[in-house]
Amino acid sequence: MNHAVVGSAYRMLADEARALLTRLETVQPFALQMTMVPAAAVPARALAAIEQHVARVRIAVGQQVRDYLSWLARACRGGVSPAEAQSGLALLRIRFNQLLSQYDIFADVLSQRSEHDNGIWLAGLDAAAADAMALRGGFFVPPPAVCYLDRGRGAAIRRARTRLPGGDPNPVAVVRVPRERMVGSGIASSLVHEVGHQCSASLGLVESLRPLVQGMQRTRGPDRIAWVLFERWLSEVIADFWGVAKVGIAATTGLIGVVSLPSAFVFRVALDDPHPFPWIRVKISCALGKALYPHSQWNKLAALWESFYPTDGLEEQKRRLLTMLESNLGAFVNMLVLHRPKALCGHSLMEVVASPDRHARHLQGLYTSWRATPRLMRLASPTLALAAVGQARFDGRMSPEHESRTVGALLRHWALRGHGPGQTARTTAVRMNSESAVSIQQE
């Protein structure tokens, strides 16, 4: 090969590698770029984990580029072909773009903190997410969680310790919240469901329950298909269980708001979908509520759902499937709520995740006392407050307008209060804004 061509090739590759280093220097810490007000900031532990992760990957990519430049200097003397050298640079570019993809994931989260109102509400949702992951007994250390808004009907989560582009472990749980859920108690349903996925993975609940469900498949004879479907839906049902356990009937009414679609979709059974089809999913949620917090309201809500989507006009085969699922639903729900996974050291899921103060009568009593003394609401944990608001909305004691004002005020309060050390400025702001928060919550 012409020596002039080879020399030009090596110079071009070296220049491109050095250009990567130059662009790598533009990947700056988020702390130098964030423009949100202090109350909208992400939790300190989450920001530290993100910054440390990005810095670690940035240093690693930079070292790979420098190693490549050193190798290239030796390669040009050792007869390595330009094609082989170009292949090495192409791999470096892929790794560099993976770093940028990771950076953009976190940038999307952080940039919204500068939006008026949205940034404050997101900080409040961070606090609610942290509360939803807390368990009595400290059976696991929840990862830091951050929330952001996006379009779409449903929420989603990029769980902590799952793989980011390039294969690096995600340092935080990133929860995508649908914009159309802001602001009302329905946001609790979406948020806590996604947090439930994180907690389920941390505790190994799907892996722990699967053998039990598979055992039922071997003993249920003609009802086996119901348990095959229950196994397929385990991940989503556990997340729905987490929602009902933490925010009560608000989880189910919020779910109805998401899955209320044309009938063809509500009854559509897709055997490869990890989500239960909407009609049975709402019935499962009601059954979970009845098992955790017995009350006639769950039968009432199930009946309302059936009135929205009657089964009379369905083909006979689908009606038989619904009957089979419903007849086995009680056994499945009992198996789930009474399950004692190894991670909980002999305690059942119901004992650890559910709380007596999420019973309907207790929530109704709380709301009555809060109407008389609104400041008491701000002393409650985020999930308890959202559960009480959702209960009041279902009972018809709170209008949609009042619900929106109250949830917005709560999110603002949780953002100002903060949820980590060193929050003196936020604490001062909470005291200064207490009177205005009360007036917002009163109808």
DSSP string, 241-260: HHHHHHHTHHHHHHHHHHH-
pLDDT at 77: 75
Cα 121 from Cα 357, distance rounded (Å) = 25
Residue 147 has pLDDT above 60, yes or no: yes
Residue 429 has pLDDT above 60, yes or no: no
- What percentage of the chain exceeds 70 in pLDDT? 93
Mean pLDDT value of segment 10-39: 85
Cα 279 from Cα 253, distance rounded (Å) = 13
Question: Quick one: pLDDT band at residue 2, thresholds 50, 70, 90?
Answer: low
Token reading at 230? 């229950």
Question: Quick one: pLDDT band at residue 1, thresholds 50, 70, 90?
Answer: low
For the entire predicted model, the pTM comes to 0.86
pLDDT at 351: 96
Question: Quick one: pLDDT band at residue 422, thresholds 50, 70, 90?
Answer: very low
Residue 17 has pLDDT above 80, yes or no: yes
pLDDT at 425: 39
Amino acid in the structure at residue 329: L
Residue 378 has pLDDT above 70, yes or no: yes
Residue 76 has pLDDT above 80, yes or no: no
Cα 122 from Cα 126, distance rounded (Å) = 6
Please give the mean pLDDT across all residues of the chain. Answer: 89
Question: Quick one: pLDDT band at residue 80, thresholds 50, 70, 90?
Answer: confident
Residue 441 has pLDDT above 70, yes or no: no
Residue 439 has pLDDT above 90, yes or no: no
pLDDT at 267: 96
- What percentage of the chain exceeds 90 in pLDDT? 66
Domain residue limits, the chain: 3-114, 204-353, 356-441
| Dihedral sign of CA atoms 49, 51, 54, 56 in order | negative
Cα 120 from Cα 183, distance rounded (Å) = 12
Mean pLDDT value of segment 220-237: 94
pLDDT at 82: 85
Question: Quick one: pLDDT band at residue 440, thresholds 50, 70, 90?
Answer: very low
| β-pairing verdict for 156-158 and 145-150 | unpaired
pLDDT at 238: 98
Phi first, then psi: give them for residue 338, nearest 5 degrees. Answer: -95, 0
Mean pLDDT value of segment 193-217: 96
pLDDT at 161: 92
Tens digits of residue pLDDT in 162-188: 999 989 999 999 999 888 777 777 899
pLDDT at 419: 43
Cα 104 from Cα 84, distance rounded (Å) = 31
Mean pLDDT value of segment 301-323: 95
Cβ atoms of 89 and 10 within 8 Å: the answer is no
Partners of 150 in beta bridges? 178
H-helix segments, 204-314? 205-219, 224-232, 234-247, 249-259, 263-266, 278-292, 297-308
pLDDT at 181: 73
Among 140, 145, 247, 114, smallest CA distance to 190 is for 247
Question: Quick one: pLDDT band at residue 29, thresholds 50, 70, 90?
Answer: confident
Residue 438 has pLDDT above 60, yes or no: no
Question: Quick one: pLDDT band at residue 435, thresholds 50, 70, 90?
Answer: very low
Residue 437 has pLDDT above 50, yes or no: no
Who wins on pLDDT, 280 or 150? 280
Question: Quick one: pLDDT band at residue 53, thresholds 50, 70, 90?
Answer: very high
Partners of 149 in beta bridges? 177
Residue 96 has pLDDT above 50, yes or no: yes
Mean pLDDT value of segment 229-235: 97
Cβ atoms of 322 and 311 within 8 Å: the answer is yes
pLDDT at 79: 74
Cα 123 from Cα 110, distance rounded (Å) = 10
Mean pLDDT value of segment 77-85: 82
Residue 7 has pLDDT above 60, yes or no: yes
